[in-house]
Structure 1
């Protein structure tokens, strides 16, 4: 996957998908990894951005209607990744814990299969993961028919501005 546009203040579309697109998170990860690699981002920034976008496209596909779009935009000081869907409602943002979001809950220890299931559940942790990976530099904005979730990618990339 290769985007053919300049990375500038105008958003560059990296990938589009619909509700019928198979294996959305994997395709989004591949598209973003390719785009950021072409821009010369370091491995750590790419890995964090790819994991964050995987969570966001999963949420968009699971909880909102399409079509969907992933974009990159460059400002004077940063590169921003955006994921847009066609549901203008901003989701309820979970309270972020003071401790790491991956710590096991003591109330789920030694409680049998039900407690084990609660401890292993994947649901509800995605935005916590995005928050950690972006060091809190992410958010939402809404328009009449769409919602965009965005996050900042640390700008440790080379001088290239073409994708």
Structure 2
């Protein structure tokens, strides 16, 4: 009989600022959520929103970044920290824009999201229920 997963658990991922970072983060988050019995739909949503956060970090920062996943009772929180202290703002979504939809997707799909500045870095996070 398989062991029952803990009610709360965490996963931390440290990445270099590299174009492969979003793919690595997507795969890690999706695999962790599926391995702990979350639905494929929830894992896919978390994967997409994680990719958006990490892609923004790779584009706008110049150093390493961290991604973490924390599960609590009924809540999944995923965050990203990088060395660019500038807080991101969502851009207006237009059909002809080549980029800029990331935070709009996070705002539309996440139960909650936020961002805050640290001394020389920032954190952007979201929650899914």
- TM-score, normalised via structure 1 length: 0.66
The residue that corresponds to 2:14 in the other structure is: 16
Give the count of matched residue pairs.
Answer: 124
Runs of 4+ in 1 over 6 A off after TM superposition: none
Distance 2:7 2:67 in 1: 13
The residue that corresponds to 1:33 in the other structure is: 30
Q: CA deviation at 1:59?
A: 0.2
- TM-score, normalised via structure 2 length: 0.82
Q: Residues 2-60 of structure 1: CA distance to partner in whole angstroms, max 9, x if unpaired?
A: xxxx7847x530x21112x3522211111111111112110111111100111110000
Distance 2:47 2:71 in 1: 17
Q: Residues 97-148 of structure 1: CA distance to partner in whole angstroms, max 9, x if unpaired?
A: xxxx57x4xxxxxxxxxxxxxx2x331111112222215x111012112211
Distance 2:7 2:81 in 1: 18
Q: Could you tell me whether the CA contact under 8 Å between 2:90 and 2:101 is conserved in 1?
A: no
1:131 aligned onto 2:128: no
From the two aligned structures, give the one with the greater strand fraction.
2
Distance 1:17 1:140 in 2: 19
Structure 2 runs not aligned, ≥5 long: 1-5
1:51 is paired with a residue whose SS is: helix
Q: Which has the higher contact order (CA 8 A, sep 6+)?
A: 1
Q: Could you tell me whether the CA contact under 8 Å between 2:69 and 2:77 is conserved in 1?
A: yes
Distance 2:35 2:123 in 1: 24
